[in-house]
Amino acid sequence: GQQLNQSPQSMFIQEGEDVSMNCTSSSIFNTWLWYKQDPGEGPVLLIALYKAGELTSNGRLTAQFGITRKDSFLNISASIPSDVGIYFCAGQFRRGGSNYKLTFGKGTLLTVNP
């Protein structure tokens, strides 16, 4: 089956620093998604990417859909303490019109020191 490698597994940064994380896949996807999970909560969708090469921003977050369709990147600029959490990438290969299965990376645990 499809596998996603997400790195790094964890990051410890100072407030104000920029953060980068990425996911690579053994096969192509036609959608990439990035989720954030706050402590004690379920994952929440941050950014969705639909086309190879696409670059999308959501506030201080920027994500890119790799041109090979096998990777994606998430950048967080000027980190703040509330950025703490686990960030998951997820990929999807749609067939027809249905989208019922996502493949998730194992997550990047982000700690921000004030």
Q: Phi/psi of residue 41, each to 5°?
A: -125, 170
- The 8-class DSSP code of residue 16 comes to T
Rounded to whole angstroms, the Cα distance separating 19 from 50 reads 23
CB under 8 A: which stretch of 11-19, 59-67, 76-84, 93-101 binds another protein?
93-101
Examine residue 12 and tell whether it contacts another protein (CB under 8 A).
Answer: no
Examine residue 45 and tell whether it contacts another protein (CB under 8 A).
Answer: yes
CB nearer to another protein: give 62 or 92.
92
Interaction mask 14-33, another protein, x per CB under 8 A: ----------------xx-x
The secondary structure of 20-82 as a DSSP string is EEEEEESS--SEEEEEEE-TTS--EEEEEE-STT-EEEETTEEEEE-TTSSEEEEEE-S--GG
Rounded to whole angstroms, the Cα distance separating 102 from 11 reads 25
Examine residue 11 and tell whether it contacts another protein (CB under 8 A).
Answer: no
Shortest CB 5 distance to another protein, Å: 11
Summarize as ranges the residues that interact with another protein (CB under 8 A).
1, 6, 9, 30-31, 33, 35, 40-45, 48, 50, 88, 90, 92, 94, 97-102, 104-107
